[in-house]
Amino acid sequence: MAADSMEIDDALYSRQRYVLGDTAMQKMAQSHVFLSGIGGLGVEIAKNIILAGVKALTVHDTKQCTKWDLGINFFIHEDDITSQRNRAEATLHRIAELNPYVHVAASTVPLDETTDLSFLKQYQCVILTEVSLLLQKKINDFCHAQQPPIKFISADVYGMCSRLFCDFGDEFEVLDTTGEEPKEIFISNITQSNPGIVTCLENHPHRLETGQFLTFREVNGMSCLNGSTHQITVVSPYSFSIGNTSDMEPYLHGGIAVQVKTPKTFYFERLEKQITNPLCLVADFSKPQAPLQIHVAMLALNHFQENFGRRPNIGCLQDAEEMLKIAMSISETLENKPQVNGDVVKWLSRTAQGFLAPLAAAVGGVASQEVLKAVTGKFSPLQQWLYIDMLDIVTPLEKTGSEEFLPRGDRYDALRACIGDSLCQKLHDLNVFLVGCGAIGCEMLKNFALLGVGTGQDKGLVTITDPDLIEKSNLNRQFLFRPHHIQKPKSYTAAEATLNINPCLKIDSYINKVCPATENTYSDEFYTKQDVIVTALDNVEARRYIDSRCVANLRPLIDSGTMGTKGHTEVIVPHLTESYNSHRDPPEEEIPFCTLKSFPAAIEHTIQWARDKFESSFSHKPSLFNKFWQTYPSAEEVLQRIKSGESLEGCFHVIKTLSRRPRSWTQCVELARVKFEKYFSHKALQLLHSFPLDTRLKDGSLFWQSPKRPPFPVKFEFNDPLHYGFIVSAAKLFATVYCVPFTEKDLSEETLLKIISAVKVPEFRPSNKVVQTDETARKPDHIPVSSEDERNAIFQLEKSIQSSEALENDLQMKPISFEKDDDGNGHVDFITAASNLRAKMYNIEPADRFKTKRIAGKIIPAIATATAAVSGLVALELIKVVGGYPADAYKNCFLNLAIPIMVFTETAEVRRTEIRNGISFTIWDRWTIYGKEDFTLLDFINAVREKYGIEPTMVVQGVKMLYVPVMPGHIKRLKLTMQKLVKPSADKKYVDLTVSFAPETDGEEDLPGPPVRYYFVQEDN
């Protein structure tokens, strides 16, 4: 992002622009930030804010690199230690590489009680890590006193506890507290009353909150509401009140209420005052007292350091007792006099010398988002403390001897001080399968490298896969990749970059998709070799598939995902928790076919229509055309066959395309101009012919009322940039699919004006075609071809053959695949122009290219801060899975860094399904039957009954019904062998079947059973 022009590099920042918006991006690109302490937490914050794109960052540190740093700072290498480099200088060029638009400088001068702080005036935000509490207070006072105040953030990770504090000055104004799109609500009624009650359309809840503001437009009848703004009170999910409407004209129909974003002022206190009366964000509602308890414990640790000049020694009971005394006395000085939690103090004392890198990743993600809020004024800032503890990890280690936690002089000493050597070894020996090497995947690999996952001498391996190549837009958050990696495979590149962090890591990388087609590679045998599977995916379908494979092979799975500033993590442990497939999100609402085709009401509808037109004209039709001519290689053969009465699938549309095929640039422009008339003029005229403006429904109400909007034809104007843009982009795409060359001169205004002026645009002729108005109706699969159409096809094909326009080259087209991130290909330009012309036709507010690209490309907004936070939380759960922790130790998390909220919840306990007579099962149970070569279906049913005490009445293999008694011929199958019924491949030793059982009373549904793994022959024990 160049600071002088403030132009945003969309190829790099596109996913983040959808999170922050351009105003915030530009403010960020003018901001100078100071960060002290480039240890494990500092480097996380530096990474995230450099990727985000601040103007300048100064990293300050006075410490030398040590062996210890290799396990906490992913940008410090072995040679930095041997060369005794300063940490800031060692990491400088590596963090600067992350974003060429950010100026990064290093500072190594001492920062202490005697330092003149006036140098901080050049910065808009100051972040402190690894700084004493006394110095934090001094710097905070200085920052708070400036005009305008310098935004102050301090963050620390000690052992199993972390702390984050924000002070953005006495008053801090935020223009957009949530970053959510303003809601638009279609109105069905407004009462004439005090207060007036506004009701939304049926089945469309408003999802508003009391106190929000709305403005109105397009209200018929009560028209004085249009343009006015009202504060609302929620009455029900479908209605809200807006104040006195009793003196207004009666409401007739229509109207849209649009949410208005209002600025909000946040008030902050200095660190000194907040220490005695802290305002904390509660992350775990099962432990509402935890933030205050950690607050006291961490203050006690700070005082211990001031008193003794060191942190408590590992496993030293005397130091723990001393810290507990300090905590008791500190508690008395706080306003609420919170109860001291002895366990928190003890564990903080025991682990204070250690450092959990994944905890730093989680806190660093949150802290980085606060930095971005500080310099942009976008989103709600943290008020004012966030505490996260990992007591869940350390509590089960109660009986572990203190020698387990002592340093061994290697890169894992910081981790060992927190979790002990045995758990470190288990991490080293771990076999883990990471699916996806995108943003979360890159962060996870960094966490694996710092934890030493897959580094064991005899055991341990990290397997990764991702079919994608690196794009420029990935570089904004997939921090293992650099510009010279663009168009290289993500998995291979990520593996190489991870080895730079920890050369001892053993890593296998693949470029396969994980799906049914690759089950030869990712077989049951492969899954059973894995200790845990970690997904870093961007779609639900892939998650569901991998979850089913994990359940079938009894493997733990940790899933996570982000969308903008929101993120989630979910832990799935065999026999303890439900699986991902146990819960289903509601399906995405599809836009009804009739809405897309004839009755759009919102810009999303016109964008989807334009995207469908792109797919149909430039991808689907050309593909069908090619497929047809690959099946029937010559036009003469096709003509002969249809003349003899043969029906060839798709031939009518193919012949129509062939006969109308443009063969020059002029014809491509003419085709684009005719399409303009058809889409944006004739379509409107036809609808108004079918439904004139005064059309009424059976109940007497107007046909054209909200949400239906009457269309009005658009008259082509060459000088209108929107009209001109449609012609150019459509003509270029037609030229591409029809293999017509064109030059720069062809694209000149002069050439285009000359061609368009000569075009004979067909006149509108109304038809009697029925317009679909039923919202439940789906798009028809194929439209029947009339006998007249068939006769016409014969005539057209004969004509093409006679004029030598059905030769080999004429029977080929070049289908286009939609690519949203290539600005030079014209794909998004066509969709933007087509969508906005349709919006103009229906009087819908248009969308700019940026918004159109997001909706048409189904782009998921993304930012590095949320990705880092989520991956850190996943790695913390990984430690628990490796340690074989009990069910109540695991936590799922939902976070939204914009608001900000972070909610930890216990995992859902696995449900047990009762069959009958005390027989029950869970999703993790699997019954096993061993057969032999002549084993029949009846033998199988009897074997299940004998072994498990209940007789199956139905047997299913995947989607194939093997045995359903009521189906014709199925009783005869009982005598068939299982080999004949299942037809396994030669190498297949077993098959997974689903069985059901007869209900206890007739008329009820069959009772489901667990999966049954049937082995074709007895396995050798």
> How, if at all, do strands 239-241 and 197-200 pair?
antiparallel
DSSP element (H, E) containing 447: helix 439-451
Cβ-proximal residues to 621 (8 Å cutoff; 6+ apart), any chain: 653, 657, 813
Q: Which residue is it, tokens 């110095």?
A: 135
Beta 507-510 vs 461-465: how paired, if at all? parallel
Find the helix or strand (DSSP H, E) in which 919 lies. strand 919-921
Q: In the prediction, which pLDDT does 787 show?
A: 62
Where residue 781 falls among pLDDT bands split at 50, 70, 90?
A: low
What average pLDDT is seen over the chain?
Answer: 93
Which of the two residues, 733 and 798, has the higher pLDDT score? 733
The DSSP bridge partners found for residue 572 are: 557
Average pLDDT over residues 34-62: 98
Q: How far apart are CA 493 and CA 480, in angstroms?
A: 8
For tokens 């459509």, the residue is: 730
Q: Check residue 1003 and give its pLDDT.
A: 65
**Which DSSP letter does residue 587 get?**
P
In sequence order, which residues have a C-beta less than 8 Å from that of residue 802 and are 6 or more positions away?
none
Q: How far apart are CA 188 and CA 980, in angstroms?
A: 62
Q: What is the mean pLDDT of residues 119-132?
A: 97
Phi-psi sector, 218: left (phi>0), alpha (psi -120 to 50), beta: left
Residue at 259: amino acid letter:
Q
Question: Is 70 exceeded by the pLDDT of residue 245?
Answer: yes
Q: What is the pLDDT of residue 5?
A: 47
Describe the strand order of the beta sheet including 213-217 as a list of residue ranges.
229-231, 213-217, 256-260, 184-190, 197-200, 239-241, 233-236
Confidence of residue 784 (pLDDT cuts 50, 70, 90): low
Residues 6+ apart with CB under 8 A from 586: none
The set of residues, in sequence order, having a beta carbon less than 8 Å from that of 116 and lying 6+ positions away, is none
C-alpha span between 542 and 556 (Å, rounded): 16
**Around Cβ 305, how many Cβ atoms within 10 Å?**
16
According to the model, what pLDDT value does residue 1021 have? 47
- Please say if the pLDDT value at position 2 is more than 50: no
pLDDT tens digits for 831-877?
999 999 999 999 999 999 999 999 999 999 999 999 999 999 999 99
**Residue carrying structure tokens 């999170």:** 19
Indicate whether 146 pLDDT > 80. Answer: yes
Phi/psi at 895 (5° precision): -135, 155
> CA 416, CA 413: separation in Å to the nearest integer?
5
Compute and round to an integer the Cα radius of gyration of the chain: 33
Tokens of 637: 């053969």
- Segment 680-686 mean pLDDT: 96
From 180-194, 360-374, 766-780, 794-808, the region with the lowest mean pLDDT: 766-780
> Measured between alpha carbons, how far is residue 498 from residues 75, 112, 514, 742 in Å?
11, 36, 22, 46
Predicted pLDDT of residue 3 = 40
Q: Does the pLDDT of residue 243 top 60, yes or no? A: yes
Angle between helices 603-615 and 849-856 (to 10 degrees): 60
- Contact (Cβ atoms closer than 8 angstroms) between residue 890 and residue 578: no
Residue type, position 340, single letter:
V
The predicted model gives 659-688 an average pLDDT of: 95
Q: What is the mean pLDDT of residues 768-797?
A: 74
Question: What is the rounded distance in angstroms from the CA atom of residue 885 to the CA atom of residue 398?
Answer: 13
Residue 857 half-sphere exposure toward CB, CA atoms < 13 A: 23
Q: Taking the alpha carbons of 339, 344, 346, 350 in that order, is the dihedral positive or negative?
A: negative
Please tell me the distance from the alpha carbon of residue 89 to that of residue 85, in angstroms, as a whole number.
7
The answer to whether the pTM exceeds 0.95 is no
pLDDT confidence of 470, banded at 50, 70, 90?
A: very high
In this prediction, residue 771 carries a pLDDT of 81
143 is catalytic: no
Amino acid identity, residue 67? K
**586 pLDDT exceeds 70?**
no
Decide if 513 contacts 435 (C-beta within 8 A): no
Q: How far is it, in rounded angstroms, from Cα 721 to Cα 727? A: 10
* Short-list 826, 832, 807, 620, CA closest to 742: 826
Please give the single-letter amino acid code of residue 971: I
Interval 107-112 mean pLDDT: 95
Q: Which alpha helices (H) appear in 73-167, and where do they start and end?
A: 78-82, 87-96, 133-145
**Active-site residue identified among 594, 651, 668, 893:** 594
Please report the pLDDT score of residue 711 as a whole number: 96
457 pLDDT more than 80: yes
| Beta bridge mates, 509 | 464
Tokens of 431: 């076999």
Tell me how crowded residue 513 is: count the other CB atoms within 10 A of its CB: 16
pLDDT confidence of residue 529:
97
Q: 């509808």: which residue's tokens?
A: 605
The proportion of the chain whose per-residue pLDDT surpasses 70, expressed as a percent, equals: 98
Average pLDDT on 389-408 reads 91
774 contact partners, CB below 8 Å, separation of at least 6: 594
pLDDT bin (cut points 50, 70, 90) of residue 1 is: very low
Phi, psi of 409 (to 5 degrees): 80, 20
